[in-house]
Chain A
């Protein structure tokens, strides 16, 4: 299925972005400690570390959902008959898809607002909206992953489950 392959690519791409950010963050903060020993700290590292930190989390959103890693409480629902469970799953996917689509959209809106008001970061005076857009994109990948879960749960015949 084309869409599934696309979402797999997006998830992987975002994971790589997250991993690279994590490494960059580690190196940057370590360098800053080392430089402070010699009394020449780099100004603005706090900001860049925070922005990179945002990409670390946003990068893993789709992948974590695909692996179903988020903690689910199923003590009660385990006792439901399978057909009921399937219907509830669809409701679950539909609601969370809509919610994260909204979150993604609103994060983009926030990023656009930053551009239009010309807001820059406090110390380095750089425009940080690209980071905000990347977080918005991470949520879009999450929403897409949930949407495909929904599609699969509706289209897969019951006996194959």
Chain B
């Protein structure tokens, strides 16, 4: 037994350990990768690889951006900016039918501009938006669905952890990836807002309109939103000029975040400690997934399975766009059964070279993959955003998944738009970055 078939056994073993033994996804990948490397080369080699590889990943300069972007989000969250953002958007848009759900989406988008993860956004918005929507008689499916769908923007809108990991893995510039993401994020946000309007047409009772606010009140709600926009602007500007690294931009925004919160007296010692603790454990989760996926991918590469798979797809002689859809389908199925980030990392060694060979732009592909990945986070059975929303709000998981299902077409539509014109949707902005 040798070659690619060992890789196939490895994948089978991974699913068994994941589903039957309930070992966390991150640990499973590292474990199977370790045993696999021992099988393909030797135990000594496997020992040496786990020792050095864990250190290499933990101490990677590029990856230090992850805890920092999580920290900015946590600071803003604990300082209560989520409430102010929600309040501001509500005063402006709450009087439309489904306005509160739209408010939720837009506040999620604004919050995502400072937070890099969808679970943080889901947790934040569940706490803020669901009680408000309940109060105004919104249907639970509308509540939960809009929060879950809005939260997926967290992973898409820069700073995005998926884009960071993608950039480091493929050697693409993070600045370019973030800028190329601006239009796709806007497209998806509009598509999700459109879905809310569509749901309100289908079920008028699900999202009654709220009261209309005067201009004075609208203006009074703005300053908090301006703080967040300024912070976002600084990060993007720094990355745009290229004078700082992504890590430095993130660190500076953490520093500024703390400074703003202190100046506005929004931070207590307890909130400070909580923001730190949350950041540490969330980034530990992300790092373990990255480490597990890297070790597992090492093993897969040793078995030559990725190359065999890529060659096989090429022998099918399908048209370019069809190959791409096959790949995207793999991501959708993969996202259903595995943690999206983990699946992305495991599959990139297989698909990335293939996509580049087909002539697709790597920056553009990064956006498409991020949209597909984030869609996986509201898909049953393990859509992580739905779990968070259900856990935080007490709305049954099934209702959350059904509510979120309405938003599926918006992701597909966004991908199609991106495919129609890669230049005008992504490259027009990413090419501006030095």
A residues touching B (Cβ–Cβ < 8 Å)? 15, 18-19, 22-23, 25-30, 32-33, 36, 46, 49-54, 56-61, 63-64, 67, 69-77, 88-89, 91-92, 95-96, 99, 102-103, 106-107, 109-110, 131-132, 135, 139
Q: Interface segment, B93-101, B109-117, B248-256, B299-307?
A: B248-256
Q: Are B283 and A102 neighbours in the complex by a CB distance under 8 Å?
A: no
Q: Are A99 and B31 neighbours in the complex by a CB distance under 8 Å?
A: yes
Q: Measured between C-beta atoms, what is the minimum distance from A40 to chain B in Å?
A: 14
Q: Are A60 and B21 neighbours in the complex by a CB distance under 8 Å?
A: no
Q: Are A88 and B251 neighbours in the complex by a CB distance under 8 Å?
A: no
Q: Are B54 and A107 neighbours in the complex by a CB distance under 8 Å?
A: yes
Contacts of A63 in B (CB 8 A): 277, 280-281, 284
What separation, in Å, do the CA atoms of A26 and B373 have in the docked complex? 29
Give which listed residue, B48, B285, B382, contacts A69 with CB less than 8 A: B285
Give which listed residue, A15, A28, A102, A135, contacts B280 with CB less than 8 A: A15
Indicate whether B247 reaches chain A with its CB closer than 8 angstroms.
yes
Q: A56-B64, A106-B48 are in contact. List 12 more A-B contacts (CB 8 A).
A: A19-B280, A22-B71, A27-B251, A30-B251, A30-B252, A54-B55, A57-B284, A63-B277, A76-B19, A106-B51, A135-B55, A135-B58
Q: Are B59 and A51 neighbours in the complex by a CB distance under 8 Å?
A: yes
Q: Are B59 and A60 neighbours in the complex by a CB distance under 8 Å?
A: no
Q: Measured between C-beta atoms, what is the minimum distance from B145 to chain A in Å?
A: 21
13 contacts between A and B (CB under 8 A): A19-B276, A22-B280, A25-B64, A26-B255, A49-B64, A60-B283, A64-B288, A69-B281, A71-B339, A73-B381, A76-B20, A103-B51, A135-B59
Contacts of A60 in B (CB 8 A): 280-281, 283-284
What separation, in Å, do the CA atoms of A139 and B53 have in the docked complex? 13
List the A residue with the shortest CB-CB distance to B280: A60
Q: Are A71 and B25 neighbours in the complex by a CB distance under 8 Å?
A: yes
Q: Are B280 and A59 neighbours in the complex by a CB distance under 8 Å?
A: yes
What separation, in Å, do the CA atoms of A83 and B273 have in the docked complex? 39
Ranked nearest first, the 7 interchain pairs of A and B with the lowest CB-CB distance are A106-B51, A29-B251, A70-B24, A60-B284, A53-B64, A54-B58, A54-B59
Q: Are A96 and B23 neighbours in the complex by a CB distance under 8 Å?
A: yes
Q: Measured between C-beta atoms, what is the minimum distance from A141 to chain B in Å?
A: 12
Q: Are B382 and A56 neighbours in the complex by a CB distance under 8 Å?
A: no
Contacts of B68 in A (CB 8 A): 25-26, 29
Q: Measured between C-beta atoms, what is the minimum distance from B402 to chain A in Å?
A: 16
List the B residue with the shortest CB-CB distance to A91: B21
Give which listed residue, A29, A59, A71, contacts B24 with CB less than 8 A: A71
Contacts of B248 in A (CB 8 A): 29-30, 32-33
Are A50 and B59 also in contact (CB < 8 A) when A72-B25, A91-B21, A102-B47 are?
yes
Q: Measured between C-beta atoms, what is the minimum distance from B337 to chain A in Å?
A: 7
Q: Contact residue range for chain B?
A: 35 or more
Q: Are A99 and B22 neighbours in the complex by a CB distance under 8 Å?
A: no
Contact digits for B47-73, partner A, Cβ 8 Å, 1 yes 0 no: 110111011001111011001100100
Q: Are B60 and A70 neighbours in the complex by a CB distance under 8 Å?
A: no
Contacts of A19 in B (CB 8 A): 273, 276-277, 280
Q: Which of B23, B273, B283 is most buried by chain A, counting CB atoms within 10 A of its CB?
A: B23
Contacts of B255 in A (CB 8 A): 26-27, 30
Q: Are B60 and A53 neighbours in the complex by a CB distance under 8 Å?
A: yes
Q: Measured between C-beta atoms, what is the minimum distance from A122 to chain B in Å?
A: 12
Contacts of B71 in A (CB 8 A): 22, 26
Contacts of A131 in B (CB 8 A): 59
What separation, in Å, do the CA atoms of A48 and B244 have in the docked complex? 16
Indicate whether B351 reaches chain A with its CB closer than 8 angstroms.
no
Give which listed residue, B17, B54, B280, B337, contacts A139 with CB less than 8 A: B54
Give which listed residue, B31, B252, B384, contacts A95 with CB less than 8 A: B31
List the B residue with the shortest CB-CB distance to A28: B251
What separation, in Å, do the CA atoms of A92 and B18 have in the docked complex? 10
Give which listed residue, B61, B247, B276, contacts A22 with CB less than 8 A: B276
Are A92 and B21 also in contact (CB < 8 A) when A53-B63, A53-B67, A110-B51 are?
yes
What separation, in Å, do the CA atoms of A132 and B24 have in the docked complex? 24
Q: Are B247 and A49 neighbours in the complex by a CB distance under 8 Å?
A: yes
